[in-house]
A and B are shown apart, each in its own frame.
Chain A
Amino acid sequence: MGGGLRPDVRILGLLAVLILLCVVGYLTSDGLFLTEGNISTVLRLSAAIGVVSIGMTFVIATGGIDLSVGSMVALSSVWMTTVATQSFGFGMMVVCGLVVGLAAGLVNGLLVSYGKVVPFIATLAMMASARGLAERISGRQTQVVTDQDFLSFFRGDFLGVPVLIWILAVVFAIGWVLLNRTTFGRRTLAVGGNPEASRLAGINVKRHLAMVYGLAGLCCGIAAIMVVARTTSGAASNGLLYELDAIAAVVIGGTLLSGGRASMFGTLIGVLIFTVLGNIFTLNNLETDIQNIAKGVIIVIAVLLQYRTANTNRTT
């Protein structure tokens, strides 16, 4: 199952990679890496992409893919910050962000399940149209947040830890429980492992798929709130390339692209590995091209590891 109380070897291997990276970071950065400010920065930057990746884990566990997550983040963030919703205040902004994300996700889900459109194509269409709609709504301008309550809450700390990190922790905990301890999670893996058998076993596969894509959309809505808080603005350019980062994190985390096996814990480590990598490169003032090469190497190694163990640990 992975990520549960019995973490398999792959998760431990991935954790070792993360720890190794942290050691490298510590050794190369004159003690900058382990400062409270830096750890907090790494986690804060992981928060939005982390939440998106948690939603993506469910989608990939069903054997699907969601290419529209970045665009859904953009659309939700712009919707939240357009003048009409800002004038209604903080609560309305949050609700709008969540509802828009959920709605876009459900559209994906309905296309995939009831419309029988291949996930890759359905979400590709959403990827293009959601960003297009975000550009239309925002007038292609950055909408700066003026609502001070929103800013002070989401940019603030709770018990000394940034609120964004709390949100990531809560979403992760819910995601982990949902995947590993509920019927919903079991059905998700079953649908990914063998949709036909699941249908015969009495699972409403179509409805379940629609819910999973809706969940991914909701996660994008949550991420949009985080991005708006981080950048103090909504923009149609938000969430650029999130789909690739999220898929990479989920895949190196040990979730099978073909579905049927997923690890929430692995996804989180995957996200952290990429964020820490970027952080270490900046701390050492290195060029971004080398960073991208390193990113590619990590993905390949992780997937090769997975490929070798895929058939031994498969849960159905």
Chain B
Amino acid sequence: MSENPLFARRRFLLGGTAIGAGVLLSACTSNATPDSDRTQPVAQGGGDNAEPGEEVTIGFSAPAADHGWMAAMTRNAQAQADIYSDVVFQATEGTNDVNQQIAQVETLINSGVGVLIILPHDGAALTSAGQQAMDAGIPVINVDRVFDSPLAYRMWIGGDNYRMGVNAGNYIGERLIAEGVDDPVIAEVAGIDSLPLTQERSQGFADALERHGFTVSNRVSAEFTVETGESETANLLQAAPRIDALWNHDDDQGIGVLAAIDSAGRNNPDELFVVGGAGSINMMNYIEDPESVVAATVLYSPSMCSSAVSMARLLGQAKGMGDLAEHEIPASLTTYSAVVTADNVADYRDVGFES
């Protein structure tokens, strides 16, 4: 629990002083009357959202923090709530039991929270609970795993699995072309194959590689755990005596992936480079280390949970996002899977999480 992605929100919190040029609209052209109050909509750049407003009670329900990423999601939400003097945060104990999570959401509804943040263990199964809250007049912010129906949430905020794959594929493709590697061997260590998110990541990866004229040569799927990452990669390394680039979907299992690479005596940045996924502090440390094979990681950052809390607060205070011209917060917000490399890792440490 070292850094928190709090300061990543600085842009959002600090009211920019740069007032949009629209204010200076002296647009008295045409035949508009000078005293007309009809102005063009313009973004005011930050506004006064950071100022304490009316008190908002935010209810929070999430799955069990059974791995680093999920633990970071929960911690980030709490930490973001802590910095607001006008937020009362009611978090329930995380659970992977669908019925228990539904019961928790119902409890939060009955306790009269103003806004509800639901990170469902299973989006489909929690849809009815989200709907129930919305029907009770409590706006719901649905984080990451999406509900079946937009009627069940006021706003969805989450990561972009497909683009995660695309950005990993583009990074690997561009780098291999720049290095002039002929007929490269590209390996992929996926997460749980039966999950749609894994399929989206792999699809994005394949599509991006195809643009560069490459395909995945060897693919295994682990189970997001260190141990399966190690065992699958150990076999993968035997299957491909030469690997030029490897994309591992998940930094939690990445520790195991790297252990296997080390066991096989192939921990050599001149021979292969590894791209991670999610953005753990651990991988960021490796990215900084020139001796390590880890060259980059594509974010799927748990900072989205910090953002969800700040959105919930604005929703409760009926404010919009300062940098947009809209009066309300958006209905959907997809976070961007930035590629963190040795060049920019220092800027992204604040959103790194302990895996």
Residues of A near any B CB (own CB < 8 A): 29, 32, 35, 37-38, 41, 44-45, 135, 139-142, 144, 155, 227, 230-233, 235-240, 278-279, 282-285, 287-289
Contacts and interface: CB of A to CB of B under 8 A. Distances in A.
Interface string B221-250: 101111111111011111101000000000
A142 B221 contact: no
Contacts of B193: 287-289
B255 interface: yes
A282 B238 contact: yes
A264 B230 CA distance: 27
Interface residues of B, number: 40
B264 interface: yes
A141 B227 contact: no
A156 to B, nearest CB: 10
B96 to A, nearest CB: 12
A139 B258 CA distance: 22
Contacts of A284: 239
B240 to A, nearest CB: 9
A119 B232 CA distance: 32
30 contacts: A44-B234, A44-B263, A45-B234, A139-B71, A140-B65, A140-B67, A140-B71, A141-B71, A141-B355, A142-B226, A155-B262, A227-B227, A230-B231, A232-B258, A232-B259, A233-B259, A235-B225, A235-B226, A235-B227, A237-B66, A237-B67, A238-B226, A240-B228, A279-B238, A283-B239, A285-B217, A285-B218, A285-B219, A285-B239, A289-B193
A41 B266 CA distance: 14
Interface of B: 65-68, 70-71, 193, 217-221, 223-232, 234-239, 241, 252, 255-256, 258-259, 262-264, 282, 354-355
Count chain B CB atoms within 10 A of each CB in A142, A232, A239 and give the residue with the most.
A142
A236 B66 contact: yes
B255 A238 contact: no
B226 A231 contact: yes
Nearest to A135: B66
Given A140-B67, A235-B225, 18 more contacts: A29-B239, A32-B239, A44-B234, A139-B71, A140-B71, A230-B227, A231-B229, A231-B255, A232-B255, A236-B66, A238-B226, A240-B228, A279-B238, A282-B218, A282-B220, A282-B236, A285-B239, A287-B193
Contacts of A288: 193, 220-221
A244 to B, nearest CB: 13
Contacts of A232: 255, 258-259, 262
Contacts of A29: 239
A282 B263 contact: no
A238 B282 CA distance: 19
Nearest to B65: A140
Nearest to B241: A32
B263 A45 contact: no
Given A231-B227, A238-B226, A144 B235 contact: no
Contact of B227 (A44, A240, A279): A240
Nearest to B217: A285
Contacts of A37: 238, 264
Nearest to B230: A231
Contacts of B230: 230-231
Given A141-B71, A232-B259, A288-B193, A283 B238 contact: yes
B305 to A, nearest CB: 15
B239 A238 contact: no
A233 B229 CA distance: 12
B255 A144 contact: yes
A245 to B, nearest CB: 11
Contacts of A142: 68, 226, 252, 255, 282, 355
A29 B221 CA distance: 19
A45 B252 contact: no
Most chain A CB atoms below 10 A, which of B71, B218, B224, B225:
B225
Contacts of B252: 142
Given A41-B238, A227-B227, A240-B227, A282 B66 contact: no
Nearest to B264: A37
A6 to B, nearest CB: 35
Nearest to B187: A285
A141 B228 CA distance: 16
A239 B263 contact: no
Given A231-B255, A282-B236, A240 B223 contact: yes
B264 A231 contact: no
Contacts of B71: 139-141
Contacts of B355: 141-142
Contacts of B225: 235, 237-238, 240
A32 B264 CA distance: 14
Contacts of B258: 232
A278 B92 CA distance: 40
